[in-house]
Chains A and B, each alone.
Chain A
Amino acid sequence: MSQLLDNPNALTTPILGESDLLRIRSALRAEAQNVGMGLTAATKLITAGSELARNIVRYAVDGRGEVTIERIRDGDRHGVRVVFRDAGPGIADIDEAMRDGFSTAGSLGLGLPGTRRLVDEFAIDSEPGRGTTVVIAQWSR
């Protein structure tokens, strides 16, 4: 995962319910625009963010979690990094959840393989009882 400075522009907001999804999508769109991201890359990023946020609303304890959105830089490459944290049940078998069979993002599972395909960088850390953290990053082409 790309290195970045302690970023005061990072905005962390809670994810409590469905109403937060619209806000997160808007924020992602704004930051994608800020770094000059193309429409396709931006749409993928926003969709990935929407998927991950919805997972939290659906599966985390009381739908509780938080998201941090920040701009990142690597030389003259600019991008957006999003961190999703939840205090949900955690994932027992990450390998299984990430198994790429071009499977559905849907009622069966969390749709993580599909979400991973949408973004340039993807990292997940989860443990049953400890909750889940997913970090994604998208660079502007």
Chain B
Amino acid sequence: MGLLYRVTSPPGRTVAGSWRGARRAEPAMAPRANGRGAVMGHSALATVGAASIQRLVDSITDLALIQLDRNAVVRGWHAAAEALTGYPASEAVGEPITLLYTDNDVAARRANADQRAATETGRHEFRGWLVRKDGARFWASVTFSPLRDDAGNPEGYLSVIRDLTDDRAGELALLSIEQMVDAITDYEVIRLDPDGVVRSWSEGARRLKGYSEEEIVGRSASLFYTEQDSRAGVLSREMETAARAGRVEAEGWRVRKDGSQFWCNMIMSPIRDAAGELLGYVRVGRDLTDQKEQTRLLQRQREEILELSTPVIQVWDNVLVLPVIGTLDSARAARLTESLLDRIAQIQAEVVILDISGVPAIDTDVAQHMLRTVEAARLMGTTSILSGVRPETAQSIVHLGIDLGTLRSRNSLKDALQLALGLVGAASSDRVSFDA
């Protein structure tokens, strides 16, 4: 006997099998008296034998197919329905479908609403908790479809019930992940689709970028990039790299909702399904603007310390002395040259005295560095004098074959100063004699 149809062969006799007939016969469902197999509802299967329909229904094991009359009372049951709900047909048939509902739903007259919806729309589905015979709950999908006779009059409903317990576990897992993500407030954790459109947002993202979930979901992530970076296609290159390499890390200035910028450190990974298809990207980002500021401050401090250890002394209006103390590593040497040239520009120095009495031993590196400093100073119009050249130093310089060129040198600072003042003095006396 089929699910949808109650087929009777000889009148009055119901076919035994998985389809149990109604205990309380409803007049409208009584077999017709014409003797032939009466089929209710759909005449299309009139020629199909009752046995094969029965087999069809029996073969359906993962769905419960339940026939209900107009009052939503169970009229048709089968093995799968018993397996799912725990009620044998003898206990289910004749009971209203609310037998399976939770007390809450019964109280809310849910069944009425479901029936009405089904009648109006032709099919109604809801997801909710149902209760088995042993009281255990399970998450189910329940659909109601109205059944009509040949004339189109409603005769009852077909209810299909599917156990969603497995699916539900997945839904719950997703919910807790979302809650977890929202609990992270220092980092933004967001999801983009393969085109870079924001699909999910988080509390951390809202704090970082200023957009609320409603404002940003569905819009492109290129909103977060500066105009320059947008034009350069930085976002698409990041996505392309993530998809190709499995991960990308990038830093750069990003833009908040209010237009302000922050230095962002971001990691992006692709999300793929079991088949390896790209579903989108997950981005984790944080604001490093403070760290950047700190690094800059640290650098400035370091430079200041270096500067203190290589002081440039102004001894006359346009004369500077640079006492070179200790050994020179390349960082100190570079810093030395920079600060000297800056001071030259600052006070418009004409002469600079490089005093090397504090340098223990002269070698080609030190000499080369000094000569370059002297030449750079000359490009800025400054004459240099080397002072503090000790007897040992004089020997080393010649032995090493270092050519000082036109660089003048003196043994003592005093002599060098005298020379310097003479040079400066000579220039100014020249100026005095001009007419122009």
Contact = CB atoms under 8 A, between A and B. Distances in A.
Contacts of A107: none
B299 A9 contact: no
A7 B234 CA distance: 10
Given A36-B296, A40-B334, A141-B303, A8 B248 contact: yes
Given A5-B249, A9-B250, A11-B232, A140 B241 contact: no
Q: How large is the interface on B (under 10, 10 to 19, 20 to 34, 35 or more residues)?
A: 20 to 34
Given A8-B248, A11-B232, A36 B237 contact: no
B295 interface: yes
B317 interface: no
A91 to B, nearest CB: 26
B245 A9 contact: no
A38 B295 contact: no
B252 interface: yes
Interface in B331-366: 331, 334, 338
Given A36-B299, A76-B295, A9 B338 contact: no
A8 B295 contact: no
A141 B248 contact: no
A118 B238 CA distance: 31
B295 A36 contact: yes
A71 B251 contact: yes
Interface in A1-21: 5-9, 11
B299 A8 contact: no
A114 B237 CA distance: 35
B299 A140 contact: yes
Contacts of B252: 9
A108 B183 CA distance: 65
Contacts of A78: 295
17 contacts: A7-B250, A8-B234, A8-B237, A8-B240, A8-B248, A8-B250, A9-B234, A9-B251, A34-B253, A36-B295, A36-B299, A38-B303, A38-B338, A71-B251, A76-B295, A78-B295, A141-B334
Interface of B: 232, 234, 237-238, 240-241, 245, 248-253, 292, 295-296, 299, 302-303, 331, 334, 338
Given A5-B249, A9-B234, A9-B251, 11 more contacts: A8-B234, A8-B238, A8-B240, A8-B248, A8-B250, A9-B252, A36-B295, A36-B299, A76-B295, A141-B303, A141-B331
